[in-house]
Amino acid sequence: MHPAVFLSLPDLRCSLLLLVTWVFTPVTTEITSLDTENIDDILNNADVALVNFYADWCRFSQMLHPIFEEASNVIKEEYPNENQVVFARVDCDQHSDIAQRYRISKYPTLKLFRNGMMMKREYRGQRSVKALADYIRQQKSDPVQELHDLAEVTTLDRSKRNIIGYFEQKDSENYRVFERVANILHDDCAFLSAFGAVSKPERYSGDNIIYKPPGHSAPDMVYLGSMTNFDGTYNWIQDKCVPLVREITFENGEELTEEGLPFLILFHMKEDTESLEIFQNEVARQLISEKGTINFLHADCDKFRHPLLHIQKTPADCPVIAIDSFRHMYVFGDFRDVLIPGKLKQFVFDLHSGKLHREFHHGPDPTDTAPGQQVQDVASSPPESSFQKLAPSEYRYTLLRDRDEL
């Protein structure tokens, strides 16, 4: 038997202090610094990665650093596995090639990645430890709601776009692809799934995916492609979840403005779905080829009274169509003219050609006047952009460049 070892009181206190310190010291993590050598490997292997694009000289970046590090420590305790959640950063002065690759136009910019794929929506919330941690917890939650009875389908919120997957087994490649797509697009659609005996009545030809559009009148649509093909499944669901004509709100205004494309906006009363449907149909018919040059949006007249005032309109004048070029706003004229073939398309072409801008400053284009008709130079001051005010604020970011304006 070994003899007992007794510690003196000072030694005992020291040992207890060391033990308590070891037990209660929080887990600390070092933020992963990304460069051209490691960025693809780290991001591709991370389930979720939040990346801080910063510059050392930017005061907002300096303020964020300790908050970002503490949020990383909090999340690391909840998700200790190395690749579950990664907090990383890019010094954009040292790695300008990476900044250009991800189109960084302001510091700090926080972008979310899933298995190496950058999500369209960056983090724009409060810069606090709690807000960042809550954001990551939300990103780690299951994006797919499981149905336990097909009767639940009749109680879905039909104001949303619903994607429903019917699978024989949850542990299948079909469902893994579906879940991966849901992780990316869950902000745009509600994703639901059913398995086994519950889903069997809907699996008469095998596993399938159904899209239920908003409203009760539009028919369901079925995905006919390969369910193990991620690109095909993603593209089909994205086309259903992200409409050609999107609603602009005060919540997504900064994001839409930062895309850098002019706005073609329908202002309409919330209950006026008929005008919205007409606008959506004409945009699809006349302007589908312009999708990459202008954003097609609709806005609630009551919520966006201020932009209407800029063009000397009120909610009583709605529906109203206008373009905001981020320098000026231009009014389409009579809403009913949208049904004239090519009229809406010409309005957009006149923006890109500079004709709208010239006419506001110098009166009608001489090429549009009748032969012999006298053309008078009429100086005017077009209404200033209203939606530019929703762009990222200089009180929150260091902005790197001014937007080219039409």
Q: Express each pLDDT in 276-324 by its tens digit.
A: 999 999 999 999 999 889 999 999 999 999 999 989 999 999 999 999 9
Lowest mean per-residue pLDDT among 19-28, 110-119, 286-295, 351-360 = 19-28
Q: In whole angstroms, what is the distance from residue 213 CA to residue 207 CA? A: 20
pLDDT at res. 260: 84
Q: Which two tokens stand for residue 5?
A: 């070892």
Q: What is the DSSP letter of 260?
A: -
CA distances from 322 to 19, 329, 386 (A): 68, 7, 11
At 245, list the tokens.
């004509």
d(CA 129, CA 135): 10
Would you state the pLDDT for residue 364?
63
How far CA 114 is from CA of 48, 75, 118, 119, 238, in Å, comes to: 5, 16, 7, 7, 16
Higher model confidence: residue 275 or residue 29? Answer: 275
**Mean pLDDT, rounded, for 46-59:** 96
Percent of the chain with pLDDT over 90: 69
pLDDT for the residue 382: 61
User: Number of helices (H) and strands (E), helices first, in the chain?
Assistant: 13, 17
81 and 34 Cβ atoms separated by less than 8 Å: no
The 10s digit of each residue's pLDDT in 179-220 is 999 999 998 999 999 999 999 999 999 999 999 998 888 899
For the record, the structure tokens of 44 come out as 């591709």
Report residue 4 as tokens. Answer: 């007992």
- Mean pLDDT check: name the lowest of 29-38, 165-174, 311-320, 336-345: 29-38
pLDDT recorded at residue 390? 76
What average pLDDT does the structure give for the chain? 87
How confident is the model at residue 405, as a pLDDT? 38
